[in-house]
Structure 1
Amino acid sequence: MQIHNLSENNSILNHFLGQIRNVDVHKDSMRFRRNIERIGEIMAYELSKELAYQDINITTPLGTKSTTEIKDQIVLCSILRAGLPMHQGFLNYFDSAENGFISAFRHHPNNDDYFEIRVEYQAVADINNKNVLLLDPMLATGQSIVAVFNRLLERGTPKEIHIAVVIATPEGIARLKEQLPDNCHLWIGTLDDGLDAKNYIVPGLGDAGDLAYGVKL
């Protein structure tokens, strides 16, 4: 797996990462959503450098100009619900992309810390021979991304798979390396210390879905 850690170089990305972590900013859900969206835009730009391009000629009012355009069709696939603001950021840049949405959540069958990942709602475009960009703000244990990845492969065979997360842990990265194909790309905004006893990211930022859309039942 090819890993791209975007926080290794200083950029405006780190500024937005600081704001989404800040408890003094968490009261403003609109600002949180917008910052996640802007982080998605930055990650989309960086990821675009790894895509395939083709030469084209365009007609201008005064002549013609040679340039390039993205060669392959893109499918943006977000994990509900936390992935929605990030999805919008990517869609702002890949505006002709097709889209997919999958729900994945932690189910605690014994009402304790043990959990299973349930994948339920799906609305996904055809992914065959296309570049799939799987988006989720938080890579904690990695179980959700692996479960969604496997469900996606039941629908077809993509040409390339890029996974983009805002915050990752060493444990989550290790799981993806173990269970996903070597030709996947993993894009991370930043790498955190690890997981606590309940498998939440430390220092993390809290629950991204709750911060964006309110506490769920």
Structure 2
Amino acid sequence: MIVHNLGEKNSILNQFISEIRDSKVQKDAMRFRLNIERIGEVLGYEFSKELGYSPARVKTPLGVKEMNLNQDHLVICSILRAGLPLHQGLLNYFDTAENGFISAFRKHDGNSDNFEVIVKYFAAPSLVGKILVLTDPMLATGRTLENVLLALKQHGTPSAIHIISVIGSQQGIEYINEIFPEHTHLWIAAIDPELNSRGYIVPGIGDAGDLAFGEKL
């Protein structure tokens, strides 16, 4: 897997990441969603550099200009519900992309730290020959992406896979490196060193879905 860690270089991305981490700023759910969306835009811009481009003629009021434009067929597939703001950030840049949505959640065994990832809902177009863009804001253990990859197989084989994530753990990245195809790209804004006993990223941000949309039962 090819890892693109944008957090290794200083940019305005640092501001957005600092705000989604800050426990005081997190209390503003609208700003939290906006920051995740803006992070999606930054990651999408960087990801766009790896796409294929071909010349096209653009007619202006005063003449014709030849430009290199992307002609790839993209499917942006996001994990509900936390992935929705990240999904919107990518859609802001990739106007013609098709869309897919997956409902995946952790089911803990009582109060135990042990859990399994349940995939309950999946809707997506055919992936055959298209570029699959998987968005998961928090790449913690990697088991959610593993289950999503299994669910996607019924929709065909994409020409390439790009994973878009906000924050990941080193452990989770190493885990999916063993599962996804060798030439999969991971575009990520920050990598944190560890997971706690419940499988949450430390220092991380907490529960991205709850911070964006409110606590669930």
Q: Judge which range, 30-39 or 179-188, deviates more.
A: 179-188
- Taking the aligned partners of 1:125 and 1:85, their CA distance within structure 2 comes to 21
In structure 2, the partner of 1:133 is: 133
Q: Name the TM-score, length of structure 2 as normaliser.
A: 0.98
- Taking the aligned partners of 1:75 and 1:179, their CA distance within structure 2 comes to 20
In structure 2, the partner of 1:166 is: 166
Gaps of 5+ in 1: none
The amino acid across from 2:139 in the alignment is L
RMSD in angstroms over aligned alpha carbons? 0.9
2:21–2:204 contact (8 Å) kept in structure 1? yes
SS of the residue aligned with 1:132? Answer: strand
In structure 2, the partner of 1:194 is: 194
Q: Judge which range, 106-115 or 207-216, deviates more.
A: 106-115
In structure 1, the partner of 2:61 is: 61
The amino acid across from 1:185 in the alignment is H
SS of the residue aligned with 2:126? Answer: coil
SS of the residue aligned with 1:94? Answer: coil
2:125–2:155 contact (8 Å) kept in structure 1? no
In structure 1, the partner of 2:37 is: 37
Runs of 4+ in 1 over 2 A off after TM superposition: none
- The equivalences for 1:1-217 within 5 A come to 1-217=1-217
| Aligned positions, number | 217
SS of the residue aligned with 1:95? Answer: coil
- Taking the aligned partners of 2:109 and 2:193, their CA distance within structure 1 comes to 28
- Taking the aligned partners of 1:158 and 1:63, their CA distance within structure 2 comes to 38
SS of the residue aligned with 1:87? Answer: helix
Gaps of 5+ in 2: none
Q: Name the TM-score, length of structure 1 as normaliser.
A: 0.98
Query: Percent identity among equivalent residues?
Result: 55
Structure 1 residue 68, shift from structure 2 partner? 1.3
